[in-house]
Amino acid sequence: METEFGPKVIFELPGEIFITETVVNTWIIMIILIIGSLILVRNFEKTPKRVQNAVETIVDMIYKLTEQGMGKDKLGFAPYIGTLFIFLIVANLWGLTGFRAPTADTNTTFALAIITFIMIHFFGIRSKGVLKYLKGFTEPVPFMLPLNIISELATPISLAFRLFGNIIGGLIIMSLLYGALAGLSVKLGIPIPIFEVGIPAAFHMYFDIFAGVLQSFIFVMLTMVFVSMAMD
């Protein structure tokens, strides 16, 4: 049984830059999303037709979600929130294609969490001003300063690992399950791996689809709540 659950290195660039499965899969997802969005927005008319209707519904939903999570005055965040949401859903469901989900790698989840972390503090400073922002760390009492700093640093860590833990957990359980089912068919002397056909479907439903969509939603919601809380 394989003991390595880390991403495989596909090739190496000069200067010891390793290009892993995660990076290649992220490129593929980026290409799909970019080409998809270019194709979907072609030939838009004033009265929407089929494709345009669907696209407009999605965009409407994202704006509504942003309004609910951040308030009407922060609708400018909707494009980022929407991009993040769509990328996360595709990335989390990527495991279903048989490739490795990019979010099953701390490098991806930390990159996204650091963007959120920078947004929290950049927009916090911009809307409150430096002094009021710094004063926020000494509230409710100055004694809380170290505690507040630790909890600010804990935010991106928990954000990144919540997503990573859920996706890698599903990946590990699924690969152990496939291994066990393959072992079962070999043990029973069946040359065709029939056990691997139907049984994993229910597990994919929970670990990939349910957990994947839910964790995308939670990552996006927490980003919105943290950023908007830092601003007011």
User: Under the rule (CB under 8 A), what is the footprint of another protein?
Assistant: 1-3, 5-6, 68, 71, 147, 150-151, 154, 157-158, 161-162, 165-166, 168-169, 172-173, 176, 179, 206, 210-211, 214, 217-218, 221-222, 225-226, 229
Nearer to another protein, 28 or 184 (CB): 184
* Residue 52 or 161 having the CB closest to another protein: 161
**Is the C-alpha dihedral spanning 45, 50, 51, 56 positive or negative?**
positive
Which residues have a Cβ under 8 Å from the Cβ of 162 and sit 6 or more positions away? 215, 218, 219
Shortest distance (Å) from residue 35 CB to another protein: 32
Least separation in angstroms between CB 65 and another protein: 9
Q: Is the Cβ of residue 2 or residue 16 nearer to another protein in the bound state?
A: 2
Query: Of the two residues 165 and 200, which places its CB atom closer to another protein in the complex?
Result: 165
Q: Which is nearer to another protein, 10 or 154 (CB)?
A: 154
What backbone phi and psi angles, to 5 degrees, belong to 11? -150, 170
Q: What are phi and psi of 10, to 5 degrees?
A: -85, -55
Measuring CA to CA, how many Å separate 127 from each of 122, 133, 232? 9, 9, 8
Least separation in angstroms between residue 189's CB and another protein is 18
What is the closest distance, in whole angstroms, from the C-beta atom of residue 158 to another protein in the complex? 4
Going by C-alpha positions, the residue among 68, 105, 1, 112 that lies closest to residue 228 is 68
Nearest C-alpha neighbor of 29 from the set 115, 121, 99? 99
Question: Rounded distance, CA 167 to CA 106, Å?
Answer: 10
**Minimum distance from CB of 204 to another protein (Å)?**
14
